[in-house]
Homo-oligomer: A and B are copies of this chain.
Amino acid sequence: MPLDTASGAFAIAPTPFHPDGRIDYDSIDRLGDFYREVGCTGVTVLGIMGEAPKLDGEEAVEVATRFIRASQGLAVVVGVSAPGFASMRGLARKAMEAGAAGVMIAPPPSLRTDDQIVTYFRQASEAIGPDVPWVLQDYPLTLSVVMTPAVIRRIFAENPSCLMLKHEDWPGLEKISALRAFQADGSLRPISILTGNGALFLDFEMERGADGAMTGYAFPEMLVDVVRLQKEGRRDAAHDLFDAHLPLVRYEQQQGVGLAVRKYVLARRGLLASDAQRKPGPVLSDRAKAEVEYLLSRVARVDRRAAISPQLARAS
């Protein structure tokens, strides 16, 4: 599946670690199987939530390669954002050799003006090479770089190898509408728009024209289903399922502890052997774990997939 026509749910995968900080490759394999089985169309690795900056260069290649192998049949996008182009290029080319569908690039927080942003992505695209398909990550809340729809259009116009937008502006509904309007008036070529933000607005993002979701919510099944239901025109059903998960989606969305919650849930689901993060990383308090369990029990009233029997749990 070429990235510019991609749709559905791309799961953002966490990087699994053992409690001592070593990479847990078995859990990578388990995640790959899981994402395929639940109907994801893609997997994104080494993103911000993937603790990518905590890996050194060789580890990053190994994790990406293992995920690619484990996710046969799915499109794998590898985050290659780096402070410099040398590291970015190195990882991008090794990822493509290993079979990635493309790479993802976020802007460095220092960019301010429209021209600075456009220039950066032109140089990044040149650095990785024109043959490497890439995803533009638009994430102002965390990166503090604000791209207008017109700037995004310029980036796509200048870089034929840029095929997909990972949209997580906030608020971003009007931005999706603006980009689709650009396509309607012929000023923007077809691109895929997958939305992030922990899925907090996925229900309406689909109605505004998103092609799917790319985020790390611990129940990618919900992402798959909401995307599908909205495409089938079953609006109320989509919202009903979404709303049932929203309290947990919202809880995961907390900056700082969100990843800890996700790893905890994925460990409770038997997918990760441990919910460990590499340092520096927050630890989930017992109180917080109990809150997550309560939320899971409430989600399970509507969606049985959230009914996790304690026996399955491997974590903490």
Q: Which residue of B lies closest to A86 (CB)?
A: B56
- How many copies of this protein are present in the complex? 4
Query: Is A173 an interface residue when CB atoms closer than 8 A count as contact?
Result: yes
Query: Which residues of A are interface residues toward B (Cβ below 8 A)?
Result: 51, 53-59, 82-87, 90, 109, 112-116, 119-120, 123, 127, 140-141, 144-148, 150-151, 170-171, 173-174, 177, 200-201, 203-204, 207-208, 239, 242-243, 246-247, 250-251, 254-257, 278-280, 285, 287-288, 291, 298
Contact A85 B54 (CB under 8 A): yes
- Known pairs A243-B298, A254-B170; A113 contacts B55 (CB<8 A): no
Most buried by B among A56, A123, A243, A278: A56
Contact B174 A280 (CB under 8 A): no
Minimal beta-carbon separation of A84 from chain B (angstroms): 4
Q: Apart from A113-B148, A246-B250, what 7 extra A-B contacts exist at CB < 8 Å?
A: A55-B86, A56-B90, A115-B148, A123-B279, A242-B247, A246-B246, A250-B250
Q: What separation, in Å, do the CA atoms of A135 and B51 have in the docked complex?
A: 26
Minimal beta-carbon separation of A218 from chain B (angstroms): 16
In the A-B complex, the 4 residue pairs with the closest CB atoms? A53-B83, A171-B254, A54-B84, A112-B146
